[in-house]
Structure 1
Amino acid sequence: MQKSFLIVVIVAIVGGLAIHQFVPALSASIAFFAGAIIAALLFKLLPSALSQGDGEYSGPMMTLYVGNLPYRVHEGEVKELFSQYGEVCSVRLVRDRKTGRRKGFGFVEMPEASAQQAMAQLNDFVFQERTIKVREAKTQDSDSTEKNPV
């Protein structure tokens, strides 16, 4: 999405300069405003052409719980490990609020098919001298209903 926004800004600036060149009687701010409107219209009318290169996955997603991680591991290392099985959308390693140190577990968000494969291959996998556990993450809703049954 950031790439699309950058394209719109560039088109707005170029459009504003072009309008100002062809109609010099208009002030630069009005020309820029007109360029921004034209860019916004193009962005709305041609969304597929502008967003093809983003690589965003829009299918079903799954969040995996990854436990028993080494405390020294970084998000990039976890992403590299899981990216062997598909696109990794996000990695969040949980930290202690007081000390800022990692707690040894985290969450990886991936497309569902890739997540299933990663879960099957990486559960009980030795990663940096630790045997990691990979499971489907529980939702916060299911946790709260188990603690307080109605």
Structure 2
Amino acid sequence: MNLFVSNISRTVNENALRALFSEFGEVASVKIIGDKYTGESRGFGFVNMLSDTQALIAIKRLENAEFFGRRLLVSKARPNVRNK
């Protein structure tokens, strides 16, 4: 299941986000979206977890959890309809 994560601190990197979500199950991939010109984090990204059950637990446990001084917003990612 692909998860949308927002309100990520600009100091968080993909390894830190992977470690956080790995507490709830196996993480297939992590992508923090960066500004296309500066590369600086835009404060949101995606975490793809292999198990839907573990992803739902991660949503429940991490929604509004403090991480690097910010309260995370975590939800199931919506499909990208632009590419369909």
What pairs up with 1:1-150 in 2 under 5 angstroms?
62-110=1-49, 111-141=51-81, 144=82
Aligned residues: 81
* Aligned-partner residue type, residue 34 of structure 2: R
- Normalised to the residue count of structure 1, the TM-score between the two structures is 0.53
**Bigger share in helix:** 1
> Which has the higher Rg, Structure 1 or Structure 2?
1
* Aligned residues: CA RMSD: 0.8
Moved over 3 A (4+): none
Q: Distance in 2 between matches of 1:104 and 1:73?
A: 9
- Normalised to the residue count of structure 2, the TM-score between the two structures is 0.93
> Secondary structure at the residue paired with 1:89?
strand
**Percent identical across equivalent pairs?**
37
Alpha-carbon offset, residue 70 of structure 1? 0.3
Could you list the runs of 5+ residues in structure 1 that have no partner in the other structure?
1-61, 145-150
> Secondary structure at the residue paired with 2:10?
coil
Q: Which has the higher contact order (CA 8 A, sep 6+)?
A: 2
Alpha-carbon offset, residue 138 of structure 1? 0.6
Q: Distance in 2 between matches of 1:133 and 1:92?
A: 15
Could you list the runs of 5+ residues in structure 2 that have no partner in the other structure?
none
